[in-house]
Every structure is written in C-alpha cells, then in structure tokens.
C-alpha cells in the first residue's frame, strides 16, 4: 500500500514506508555511523548523544550531502566539531558511511532521511551550522513546489538553529537563487542576511584546483563548465 494514503511527509505522524532498496539492507547494523528513516527521528533534541567522544562539539548539518565528499572532509579537518550528513539516496549515504568508516571518524554520522523531516529530526537550538549545497533546482513550473527552500521552511528551520547559527547556501541555478532571495525576504524576522555573492569564484585565479570541503562534487562540475556559483550566508535571529 502506498505511503501517500497515510500522512504527508511534513506531518508529525508521517512514517517511512518499508524499503526494498538493496542499500537499505546494507545500511542496517552499522552501529552509530548511520541511521535510516524513522531511526533518524529518535535523537531529536539529543543529537549530541550521537557523539559520545565529543558531546560539546559544535554541530554542522549538511542537507543533500550525497556521498559525503564535503561532510567527510569537514569532519577530518575539524575533529573538535561534529557533523551529520543527510541525504535521501540509500546508495549515496552508504558510500559516505564507507568513507567515514575508513577514516575512523567519530565526529561524523549519516542520516538516510527526507530533508523535509528536519523539524522532526532536530530539536530547538540544536544546530550550530546548516549547509545546503546545490539542492535540486526543480526548474519546471510544475516541479517548483518540490523546492526545498521556501519561506515556510526557513521559518521551520530557524528555531532549530543555535542563536546566531549560520546557514550556508550555494546554488548554480539562477532561477532557484532568485526564488531563495524572495523566500529569505519573507522571513527576515527569523534570519539576518550576512552576505550574498552572485559569482563566488570570480576572483579566484584557479577555482578548478579547489578541493573538498571548500567546494562540493557538483560545484567542481559547475566550475569546469564556468557556471557562476551563487552563495548566501544567513544568521539565525533566534
């Protein structure tokens, strides 16, 4: 039976359907390196318990982390901080877990989850920094309702941030960028705009030489194709 007959994804009582994805099985029993679906909501308000060796470290969450290229390198470079990478793709998350495990990172956890569930995954004031890099642009008019960043979502996310917490956004898609700016303008009571850059690497002599975590996997491709990267930094007013 389809999950759609039950609660919509942004409803508190939404339940993930049973998955037949082969990587769902591979993600089970891997201990505290990865959590799947409903399990990702068991630590709401207690995310720091996921990092027993570093419970007071600042928490960075990356939405749409894919196979964890940025999250893993960030965790390597900042061992005193904690990182959670979220993506809805089972295989991508599995690849991220493999990388993190090889490097024996204790400050990194992956969540296979729908990003729309973020208010059910994190509690108030839990996130020190949030990263959203190259979210799917859903360019067609009929698809735009699927875009992750909306004014409503910015309002939902703000209370999850620590006071003064930063939200870092990058996109290559001009239409989505303009949509984001409109959404931000409608939520300025929750977020302060720290900076907006419409061509992030314009003054860089050799942007193609930039490495993770300064650039993402998709960003490397856009740089190669000389597509300008739009960047926004927000600060939570909560």
User: Is 218 a residue that touches ligand SAM (CB under 6 A)?
Assistant: yes
Token output for 39? 């399990």
Of the listed pieces 35-43, 130-138, 154-162, 226-234, which binds ligand SAM according to CB under 6 A? Answer: 130-138
Are 75 and 33 contacting, i.e. CB atoms less than 8 angstroms apart?
A: no
In the complex with ligand SAM, the residue whose CB is nearer, 116 or 237, is: 116
Among positions 40, 60, 66, 171, the unique one binding ligand SAM when judged by CB under 6 A: 66
Q: How many residues contact ligand SAM, by CB under 6 A?
A: 18
In the complex with ligand SAM, the residue whose CB is nearer, 3 or 192, is: 3
Binding mask 147-166 for ligand SAM (x = CB under 6 A): --------------------
Concerning whether 189 is annotated as a catalytic residue, the answer is: no
Among positions 14, 27, 64, 223, the unique one binding ligand SAM when judged by CB under 6 A: 64
Among positions 35, 90, 134, 176, the unique one binding ligand SAM when judged by CB under 6 A: 134
Active-site residue (options: 13, 136, 199, 225): 136
Q: Is 37 left (phi over 0), alpha (psi -120 to 50) or beta?
A: left
Please tell me the distance from the alpha carbon of residue 133 to that of residue 141, in angstroms, as a whole number: 22
In the complex with ligand SAM, the residue whose CB is nearer, 76 or 217, is: 217
Helix residue spans in the chain (DSSP H): 22-26, 69-77, 90-102, 118-121, 151-157, 174-185, 217-224
User: Is 89 a residue that touches ligand SAM (CB under 6 A)?
Assistant: yes
Please tell me the distance from the alpha carbon of residue 183 to that of residue 178, in angstroms, as a whole number: 9
Beta sheet of 59-63, edge-to-edge order: 34-36, 108-112, 82-87, 59-63, 127-133, 161-171, 230-236, 191-197
- Residue 138 DSSP SS3: coil
Binding mask 164-193 for ligand SAM (x = CB under 6 A): ------------------------------
Please tell me the distance from the alpha carbon of residue 2 to that of residue 6, in angstroms, as a whole number: 8
- The residues binding ligand SAM (CB under 6 A) are 64, 66, 86-89, 92, 114-116, 133-136, 216-219
Please list the active-site residues.
136
């Amino acid at each position: 039976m389809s999950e759609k007959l039950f609660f919509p994804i942004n409803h508190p009582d939404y339940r993930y359907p049973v998955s037949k994805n082969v990587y769902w099985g591979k993600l089970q029993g891997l201990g505290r390196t990865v959590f799947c679906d409903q399990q990702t909501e068991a630590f709401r308000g207690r995310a720091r318990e996921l990092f027993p060796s570093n419970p007071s470290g600042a928490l960075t969450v990356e939405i749409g982390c894919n196979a964890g290229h940025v999250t893993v390198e960030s965790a390597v470079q900042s061992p005193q901080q904690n990182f959670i990478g979220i993506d809805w793709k089972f295989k991508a998350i599995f690849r991220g877990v493999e990388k993190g495990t090889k490097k024996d990172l204790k400050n990194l956890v992956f969540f296979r989850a729908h990003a729309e569930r973020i208010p059910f995954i994190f509690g108030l004031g839990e996130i020190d920094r949030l990263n959203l890099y190259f979210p799917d642009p859903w360019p067609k008019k009929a698809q735009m309702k699927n875009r992750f960043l909306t004014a409503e979502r910015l309002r939902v996310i703000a209370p999850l941030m620590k006071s003064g917490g930063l939200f870092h956004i990058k996109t290559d898609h001009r239409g989505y960028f303009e949509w984001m700016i409109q959404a931000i303008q409608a939520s300025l009571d929750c977020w302060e705009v720290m900076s907006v850059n419409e061509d992030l690497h314009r003054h860089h002599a050799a942007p193609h030489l930039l490495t993770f975590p300064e650039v993402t996997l998709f960003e490397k491709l856009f740089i190669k194709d000389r597509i300008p990267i739009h960047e926004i930094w927000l600060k939570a007013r909560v």
